[in-house]
Amino acid sequence: MNRLPIGIYIPGDTFIHRLDSRIKLLGLFITTAAILLVNSILGYSIMFAFILGIILLSGISMKTALNAINKLLLFFVIVLLMNTFFYSPEKPWFSFWIFTPSTLGLLYGIEIVLRLFLVLIASNILTSTTTPMETTHALESLISPFRYLGLPTGQIAMILSIAIQFIPTLSEETDAIRKTQMARGARFDSKKISEKAAAVLPMVVPIFLSAFKRADDLSVAMEARGYRGAKGRTQKKGTPLQRQDLGALGVIFFICLLQIVLRFSNLTHPWRSRF
């Protein structure tokens, strides 16, 4: 617990922080779609510039933004290697057992890593500028149109809200249980699998018992007050979208459209085909 985990909310009052969280979440989805469409140098340059712009507007330092990627460096390398060696059996540099490294594979690997990188930075910007509560409420809002398709969005929203409320409580309790059992002499360093399983029982069983007891109490309380289900459940009136929110959404849409045009017209060539 000594460092702040990566990608967590960093308080601030920048333009990005003030944007409506629904726009930010929707924007992330659209941006991700745009990133997945890119395949030309021009396209990538535009996306990089766009994301760089958002980072600057959000007040997050470049170091923090890139910090998240540090941990995944190994993952990127693996993806790159896997694709280089296994992507296609045709035109390999050489063939050895099951390995068929090829330029095609290498290039494909680079492209995947590039896209992952962009998507990750974008999602980090979201989580750094939006509290988890706001993001969850944004998600609840965004799925509410699906209720016309039969999805019980009200109920899902309720479950998510209650879950968030429980997190601090259960976190404290889990901590207390962990400390209690450790003070009793619980040990976790055995090698046999069956012992390893048994070792966490003293922590896991009490946690679930206590959590389910709370669930029990809460559901009894809710039913006693006449709660019958989430249909017709009302919510506090949300804040309406402001000009800047719509403006930001407009910009994101534009960028996405741009990428669609670039990809499917003849204005640019896929960069990989140059090799």
**71-90: which residues touch another protein (CB under 8 A)?**
71-72, 75, 79, 82-83, 86-87
Burial of 147 (0-12, 13-18, 19+ CB in 10 A): middle
What CA–CA distances, in Å, run from 112 to 82, 105, 256? 11, 11, 19
Is 142 among the residues that bind another protein (CB under 8 A)? no
Residue 66 in contact with another protein, rule: CB under 8 A: no
223 versus 257: smaller Cβ distance to another protein: 223
* Helix 243-264, helix 21-37: angle, nearest 10: 10
Using rule CB under 8 A, residue 272 touches another protein: no
Does 41 participate in binding another protein (rule CB under 8 A)?
no
CB of 272 to another protein, least distance (A): 13
Contact range with another protein by CB under 8 A, out of 15-23, 37-45, 150-158, 239-247: 150-158
Q: Which of residues 85-114 bind another protein (CB under 8 A)?
A: 86-87, 98, 108, 112
Question: Nearest to residue 27, comparing CAs of 148, 113, 130?
Answer: 130
Site for another protein in 218-257 (CB under 8 A): 218-219, 222-223, 227-229
Residue 156 in contact with another protein, rule: CB under 8 A: yes
CB of 252 to another protein, least distance (A): 18
**Residue spans of beta strands (DSSP E) within the chain:** none
Structure letter (DSSP) for residue 99 = B
